[in-house]
Structure 1
Amino acid sequence: MSVEPWEMGWSAVEALGTALGFLISFVLLLLVLRQLKSDRTTRELDHERRRKEGTFACWQDMQESALGARRLLTRKYGRDEMTEQEARELRSKATTPGEDRDEYAEILYSLREYLNRLERLAVAVEMEVYDIDVVDTVGNTSVRRAWERNRAYVKLVRQDSPGGRQYDALERLHDRLNSRHLERQAAISGGASRPMGRGRKQDGAR
């Protein structure tokens, strides 16, 4: 059975049309996937931007709200770390009838409120609701000092409470921020020493 030339030509056209159809479908699929990837990237970037903005806004609000508490604590205990004796005295005088009970009760309330705010911030950072890089940038020193100045009080609270893990997230946040602080200090020290080393080699070469 012979095949007419026109039939062969038509078959070739059909094959070419099918191939072009597959090619067009493939190109369209690539374009759709690229658009989906672009949309996803845009959403992720937008989410990250809003997360950073939210972290910064939270930090500003917390600092403003806790300003009175921090001033009261600094006025009473200075900028040094609270001792264990001072922590015990604070809790005792805040709950024992006496002429200075109201003063110590106000200080104790301010301290608890400040630490609780920092603890909530630390929990939000661990849950990645807030951004650790923003907290590191705007609040590294403040968080580290707040923990270090008041850890004697936290230790006392933990001793008197079942489980003894109050302000656990805050302690972990302090450790993370302190680690970053030490890394930066080491980088600065290393960067400062390297040019001096090169200078000595150059002097020796001359």
Structure 2
Amino acid sequence: MLKFLLCFLLVTNAGLFALQRGYLDALLPDQPDPQRLQLQRDPERLRLLSFEAATAPVAVAAPVTLACIELGDFSEPEAVHFEAALGALDIRSTPVRRRLAEEPASQIVFIPSQGDKEGADRKSAELRRLGVKDFYVLQTAGERHFGISLGVFRSRGAADVRLAELTRQGVRSARIGAFGNTGSRFAMQLHDLDDAGVTAAIELAATVAKVARRECAAR
């Protein structure tokens, strides 16, 4: 009996030793580690790659070029309108307002001061003889006091047309000057725009005013 137990222990120890060393792996069926299987995520999406596919260079996306544009010229109300409308677009750029040169609100075609009321009356009579009817004597104090207004216009082009008409009628002393308060003009700079942002900003500006596009330095 003692010999039997001794033989049994020797055989058992030899079997455990062989199992630990892996000598019996060929005799055992494959049994994946269940814990590792539970840790796998989306195992059905795994696929084997060929050597060529595994070693092929990875394509790198080209960097996106960002631009800076300046749109102008806006009057102050137009600039405010553009800024407000810009907020509704998907453009992640805060506009920077830049003040441009001041320009007169209106243009006046006029004859300079005649010195006093009598001089203004004589000039008025001369204009009537030439067939000019649309005029009045300037009464506001200043360098044009007792001058003759021949028309006030919102644009220089319209004033030029009026001056040419008066010249054909024989009026030689008329000229064009600024009239009324001056108004500021503004340009709006937009930084870090992609191509879609540039297109959207230009299209929006065209709905607000007739503006020019200029490039500006990136920040």
Q: Same fold (TM over 0.5)?
A: no
Q: What's the TM-score, normalizing by structure 2? A: 0.22
Q: Which has the higher strand share?
A: 2
Q: Which has the higher helix share?
A: 1
Q: Looking at both structures, which has the greater relative contact order when contacts are Cα pairs under 8 Å and sequence separation is at least 6?
A: 2
Q: What's the TM-score, normalizing by structure 1? A: 0.23
Q: Which has the larger Rg?
A: 2
